[in-house]
């Protein structure tokens, strides 16, 4: 595994001495003496070598990621949809390819690239329209909690195995009675000597069925002056006595993504299972949620780009009234509207990605990106299905899968209604 990661790092560093460095902004990068084209003027919205935020180093990595998803994911995804999960072999192949823990620091056992490199992986997964692999949650939601708040022992125990794809991560926030309201959770951990006894249940947990380690959000102080002051995070490993995985949930979309109920019945955890400090969990969640929302937003925009190109290709081939429907002005205008909307969204999205790469993305802006992009994704999905006609309603057509997969995006990661609350709160605040 170490040799493979070294080879990947060598590939990523081929074009310069310090790739992905915060000191050298990709915004200034020129490729072969010419400025990088923006998607609006490129031949395709998914072309490699576009967008000012990226460098030629990112392009090399994107080519590698694209090849992986096209060869190792796309051909098998239909079977995984029937199984309700991807294979463990895929996770290990992704680890060997250097696609997991991309933005986790080398000192912790990660690949050591920047968040823009993680974005390459998010986008390339959406460009093959395969939502099964929960790589993004594993690498860019779960792993940062361990890397940022974990003890040296926890980091050494989990990060290298997670980067290798041998340990699959999940995070358990949502409960049957508490979704976007994190302060309403009921899962409780009480002290028993130096140990903790954990009881409660979680639902809609991505990677839940296949998970080897789960970050569990639990109340640890019921007497705190507010719920936010009494929440802690725990690392619970698969096989721990009392930790029970319920059924894989039968969703209308994301068919190949394992999503599960989790139950905790008198689970005894050692003091070393506490992630970070006691009663600081809510603050850790607030600090990490902007990246989760950015991730959802970028994957939503990438899905829009995929759907547009899929539909463009379809209307140029589908014939009606003696010619392809691409010759119909109504269809042409709809394509023009969609491309404009997507390019406007991409400009804002890339700005957010650059802000986050510079550690300047705030919660309100991340919320804007999440709500706007996921709403746009559903709008584009509806329009693209319409342009496919009856065939767009057939499961074997990629646009049908993209349509149902899009629907959950405005729900998880905090509903879009909550996103608007967060944005509005910042607008009217006197601070």
- Give me the half-sphere count of Cα atoms (radius 13 Å) on the Cβ side of residue 355: 17
- CA 398, 401, 406, 412 torsion: positive or negative? negative
**Could you give the CA distance from residue 348 to residue 340 in angstroms, rounded to a whole number?**
13
**284, 265, 272: which is closest to 188 by C-alpha?**
265
Q: How many CA atoms does the CB half-sphere of 202 hold within 13 Å?
A: 29
Structure tokens at 143: 């792993």
Q: Which residues contact 414 (CB under 8 A, 6 or more apart)?
A: 180, 289, 293, 367, 370, 422
Please pick, among 123, 175, 292, 305, the residue that the annotation labels catalytic: 292
- Would residue 278 show up in a list of annotated catalytic residues for this protein? no
DSSP notation for 212-259: SEEEEEEE--TTSSSGGGGEEEEEEETT-TTEEEEEEP--SS-TTS-E
Tokens of 290: 């902007």
- Classify residue 152 by burial, with Cβ atoms within 10 Å: 0-12, 13-18, 19+: exposed
Give the integer Cα–Cα distance in Å for 76 and 70: 10
Place of tokens 């009494």: 230
Q: Cα(417)–Cα(364) distance, rounded to whole angstroms?
A: 13
Give me the active site residues, please.
292
């Amino acid at each position: 595994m170490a040799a493979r990661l070294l080879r990947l790092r060598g590939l990523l560093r081929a074009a310069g001495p310090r790739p992905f460095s915060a000191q050298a902004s990709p915004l200034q990068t020129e490729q072969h003496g010419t400025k990088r084209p923006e998607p609006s003027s490129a031949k395709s919205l998914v072309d490699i070598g576009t967008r000012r935020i990226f460098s030629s180093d990112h392009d090399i990595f994107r080519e590698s990621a694209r090849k992986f998803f096209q060869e190792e994911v796309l051909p098998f995804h239909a079977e995984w949809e029937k199984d309700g999960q991807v294979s463990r072999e895929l996770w290990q192949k992704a680890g060997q390819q250097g696609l997991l823990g991309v933005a986790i620091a080398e000192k912790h056992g990660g690949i050591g690239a920047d968040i823009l490199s993680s974005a390459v992986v998010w986008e390339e997964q959406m460009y093959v329209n395969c939502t099964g692999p929960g790589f993004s949650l594993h690498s860019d939601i779960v792993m940062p909690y361990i890397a940022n708040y974990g003890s040296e022992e926890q980091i050494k125990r989990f990060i290298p195995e997670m980067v290798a794809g041998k340990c699959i991560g999940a995070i358990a926030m949502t409960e049957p009675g508490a979704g976007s309201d994190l302060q309403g959770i009921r899962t409780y951990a009480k002290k028993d000597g130096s140990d903790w006894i954990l009881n409660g249940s979680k639902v809609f947990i991505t990677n839940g069925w296949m998970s080897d380690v789960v970050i569990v959000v639990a109340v640890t102080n019921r007497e705190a002056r507010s719920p936010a002051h009494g929440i802690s995070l725990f690392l619970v490993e698969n096989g721990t006595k009392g930790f029970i995985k319920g059924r894989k949930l039968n969703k209308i979309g994301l068919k190949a993504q394992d999503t599960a109920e989790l139950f905790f019945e008198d689970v005894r955890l050692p003091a070393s299972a506490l992630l970070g400090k006691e009663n600081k969990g809510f603050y850790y969640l607030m600090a990490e949620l902007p990246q989760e929302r950015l991730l959802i937003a970028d994957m939503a925009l990438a899905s829009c780009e995929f759907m547009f190109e899929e539909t463009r290709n379809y209307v140029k081939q589908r014939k009606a009234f003696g010619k392809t429907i691409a010759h119909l002005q109504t269809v042409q205008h709809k394509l023009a509207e969609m491309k404009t909307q997507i390019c406007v969204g991409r400009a804002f999205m890339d700005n957010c990605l650059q802000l986050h790469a510079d550690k300047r993305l705030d919660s309100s802006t991340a919320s804007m990106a999440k709500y706007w992009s996921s709403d746009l994704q559903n709008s584009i999905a509806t329009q693209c299905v319409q342009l496919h006609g009856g065939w767009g309603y057939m499961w074997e057509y990629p646009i049908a899968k993209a349509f149902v997969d899009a629907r959950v995006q405005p729900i998880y990661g905090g509903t879009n209604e909550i996103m608007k609350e967060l944005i509005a709160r910042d607008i009217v605040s006197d601070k």
